[in-house]
């Protein structure tokens, strides 16, 4: 084990996979940085510092610094994957999915199915996402609701440095396209990461982050640490919560959710995306359909309101779910008779 930040876990995992498998290539805006400038290549190493040193180590063929052209990045990732490479593309902010949706949704996601299973598309699309930096409406969004809805795409939302490592390695070695949603606010999170260069976390298996008998809290990405804080606060009052970290929203570990709700009878779903047609509503529907008899109270959803992400500190704080809002939702559920 080594202690490192979430961003370094991501950087090191890609670096190791590039050393291990020459088919792995990186592409995106400023993944080297400084191309065509006096500062020269490697002036940046990715604006999230997730590809520092890559250009020097692997050169321009495998560290493809692109113009600001998200559709071309996404499409080229698809073409590289169809041609036998294992591209790891960075869309600098997940919000830019709007610029390149066709290449993800109509192309990469569908190749395997449309072509009758006769192709694979092992492309990893890294999308730094989420709020918390007062980056306003076009640089702060959670987009899990769009990509989880796309058949053919696997969707990963790591909540810890160790998970970022194990899930990213799985993503790179996976034969299906993967959208890897890195929460920007987690980049500086520190944690223990296994040294094993083959450490992978299989998709579709949730992590039980906290265990308790009274309520189930389901969360993903940054919301997991909020849910953990809420659960720890509630534990002070003798209220025990299961905190289920989904890890991957597609495939979804239905069993982990249902098993927990069958014990607790109370469900709080936390989601950073807007409140309609989202993971929160999807998981609520799942539990209502498959664990209805176990429910002792209405399902609670903790989500932002149905607005764009606001800029001002006070407004963004009000917008986002928080440990206090999650704890309040658990208490509301427990008070239901």
Partner 1 sequence: MQLNREALTRAYRQMKLIREFEERLHEEIQTGEIAGFTHLYCGQEAVAVGVCEHLTDRDKIVSTHRGHGHCLAKGCDVEGMMKEIWGSQDGLCNGKGGSMHIADIDKGMLGANGIVGAGAPIAVGAAISNKIDGPDAEGKLAVAIAFSGDGACNQGTTFEAMNLAVVTKAPAIFVFENNHYSEHTGVDYAVGTTRDIASRAEAFGMKVWRADGTDFFAVYDTFREVLEYVRVPGNGPAAVEFDTERFFGHFEGDPQRYRGEGELDRLRAERDCIKIFRAKVGGAALLDEADLDVLDADALQQIENAVAASRAAARPSPENVLDNVYISY
**Catalytic residue numbers, as ranges:** 139
d(CA 222, CA 162): 14
Residue 60 Cβ vs partner 1, minimum distance, rounded to whole Å: 8
Site for partner 1 in 250-309 (CB under 8 A): 250-251
Closer of 25 and 309 to partner 1 (Cβ): 25
What are the Cα distances from residue 121, in Å, to 118, 218, 311? 10, 30, 37
303: tokens are 């989500």
The only residue of 34, 132, 194, 204 in contact with partner 1, by rule CB under 8 A: 204
Total residues at interface with partner 1 (CB under 8 A): 44
Site for partner 1 in 206-245 (CB under 8 A): none
Q: What letter would DSSP give residue 110?
A: T
The contact pattern for partner 1, residues 24-63, with x = CB under 8 A and - = no contact, is: -x-----------------------------------xx-
Check binding of 64 to partner 1 (CB under 8 A).
yes
5: tokens are 């930040």
Closer of 152 and 240 to partner 1 (Cβ): 152
Check binding of 81 to partner 1 (CB under 8 A).
yes
d(CA 111, CA 77): 13
Closer of 53 and 79 to partner 1 (Cβ): 79
Residue 203 Cβ vs partner 1, minimum distance, rounded to whole Å: 8
Closer of 171 and 193 to partner 1 (Cβ): 171
Buried b (16+ CB within 10 A) or exposed e, 247-282: bbbbebbeebbbbbbeebbbbbbbbbbbeeebbbbb
Closer of 49 and 71 to partner 1 (Cβ): 71
Handedness of CA 69, 71, 72, 78 (dihedral sign): positive
The only residue of 14, 74, 218, 227 in contact with partner 1, by rule CB under 8 A: 74
Residue 146 Cβ vs partner 1, minimum distance, rounded to whole Å: 17
| Three-state SS at 105 | helix
- Helical segments of 149-222, H only: 161-173
Is residue 329 within 8 A of residue 227, CB to CB? The reply is: no
d(CA 324, CA 310): 20
The only residue of 16, 47, 49, 72 in contact with partner 1, by rule CB under 8 A: 72
87: tokens are 């591209």
| Residues of the shown chain interacting with partner 1 in the complex, contacts defined by CB under 8 A | 25, 61-62, 64, 66-67, 69, 71-85, 87, 102-103, 106-107, 110-119, 151-152, 154, 176, 204, 250-251
């Amino acid at each position: 084990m080594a202690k490192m930040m979430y961003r370094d876990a991501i950087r090191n995992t890609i670096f190791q996979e590039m050393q291990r498998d020459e088919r792995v290539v990186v592409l995106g805006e400023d993944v080297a940085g400084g191309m065509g400038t006096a500062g020269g290549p490697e002036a940046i190493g990715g604006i999230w510092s997730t590809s520092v040193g890559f250009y020097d180590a692997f050169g321009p063929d495998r560290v493809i610094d692109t113009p600001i052209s998200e559709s071309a990045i996404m499409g080229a990732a698809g073409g590289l994957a169809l041609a036998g490479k294992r591209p790891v593309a960075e869309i600098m902010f997940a919000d830019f999915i709007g610029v390149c949706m066709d290449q993800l949704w109509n192309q990469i996601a569908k190749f395997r199915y449309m072509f009758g299973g006769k192709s694979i598309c092992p492309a990893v699309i890294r999308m730094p996402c989420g709020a918390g930096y007062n980056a306003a409406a076009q640089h702060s969004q959670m987009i899990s609701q769009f990509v989880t809805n796309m058949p053919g795409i696997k969707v990963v939302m790591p909540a810890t440095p160790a998970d970022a490592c194990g899930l990213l390695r799985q993503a790179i070695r996976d034969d299906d396209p993967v959208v890897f949603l890195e929460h920007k606010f987690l980049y500086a999170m520190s944690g223990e990461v296994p040294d094993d260069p083959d450490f992978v976390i299989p998709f579709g298996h949730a992590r039980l982050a906290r265990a308790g008998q009274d309520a189930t809290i389901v969360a993903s990405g940054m919301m997991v640490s909020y849910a953990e804080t809420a659960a720890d606060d509630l534990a002070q009052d003798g209220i025990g919560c299961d905190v289920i970290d989904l890890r991957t929203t597609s495939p979804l570990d239905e069993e982990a959710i249902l098993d927990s709700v069958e014990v607790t009878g109370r469900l709080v779903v936390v989601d950073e995306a807007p409140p309609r047609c989202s993971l929160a509503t999807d998981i609520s529907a799942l539990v209502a359909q498959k664990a209805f008899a176990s429910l002792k109270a209405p399902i609670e959803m903790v989500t932002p309101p149905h607005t764009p992400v606001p800029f001002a500190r006070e407004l963004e704080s009000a917008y986002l779910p928080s440990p206090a809002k999650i704890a309040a939702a658990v208490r509301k559920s427990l008070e239901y008779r």
